[in-house]
Structure 1
């Protein structure tokens, strides 16, 4: 099965969550390249300077320093082509406000509850 995406960026501060998510993405041949960063600030910097050019991003909601929604505010301000980038909010948050904010955000394709599963990957919006 061919990979669906070329470059996947995983933004999450939790090492265990990153390990599990990466293994699931690799096992499903989800992307040719998977880059993991443990802070939203690092992701914004890499996106801004062109070090990372993802076509899909998995973004955690709650992270120290800059959370997922703060990332989206800065993401909106950086000058890159965002037209082909899908962002999936990946979180263990059960807060209805987080889900509503992600639904209302123009960059978020879908809100996915952690842990990421093979089934959830298969059900992602096309």
Structure 2
């Protein structure tokens, strides 16, 4: 299908099953050369801070126990790193209009995507 439009994709979601499904969709569509998955937003911040992971794309869940997707974005904002080419997609099962409005108003979020991630949505992202 697609041919690695992105080099590195970072998936941040506390739900193991969601991560498994999302990863399979990303892998089978050849979305990125490298797919890094973490269930912890705090760990993701550390990886970014250390420069261990340099993603082109981040898929971020909203509702996570220790740090929400929006709290992640607050931390992300403080990181000293080049962010201009990083696309962040809020990937959530939330139907809360407040979450969607908050996503729309965030300068880092490219798009709000409802779970589950699908091939169709990936095609739209890549086109």
Structure 2 unaligned segments of length 5 or more: list them: none
Alpha-carbon contact 1:91-1:113 (below 8 Å) kept: yes
Structure 1 Cα separation of the partners of residues 126 and 111 of structure 2: 7
For residues 2 and 36 of structure 1, the distance between their equivalents in structure 2, rounded to whole angstroms, comes to: 20
TM-score by length of 1: 0.97
Aligned length: 126
Identify unmatched segments of 5+ residues in structure 1.
Answer: none
Task: Check the 8 A contact 1:87/1:108 in 2, yes or no.
Answer: yes
Q: What is aligned with 1:79?
A: 80
Residues 110 and 125, structure 1, Cα contact 8 Å, conserved in 2: no
- The separation in 1 between residues aligned to 2:4 and 2:103, in whole angstroms, is 26
Equivalent pair of 1:25/1:31 in contact (CA under 8 Å): yes
The within-5 A match list for 1:61-80 is: 61-80=62-81
Flag as ranges the 4+ runs of structure 1 deviating above 4 A. Answer: none
Let me know the Cα RMSD of the aligned residues: 1.0
CA distance in 2, matches of 1:125, 1:87: 13
Identify the residue that residue 3 of structure 1 maps to in structure 2.
4
1:30 maps to 2:64 = no
In 2, the alpha carbon distance for the partners of 1:53 and 1:27 equals 22
User: In the aligned structure 2, how far is the partner of 1:55 from the partner of 1:44?
Assistant: 15
Residue 93 of structure 1 is matched in structure 2 by 94
Q: Secondary structure at the match of 2:125?
A: coil
Structure 2: distance between partners of 1:101 and 1:123: 22
Give a deviation string over 1:31-56, Cα, whole Å, max 9, x none: 00000000110000110011111010
Q: Matches of 2:28 and 2:37 in 1, distance apart?
A: 16
Give the C-alpha shift of residue 120 in structure 1: 1.1
**TM-score, L = length of structure 2:** 0.96
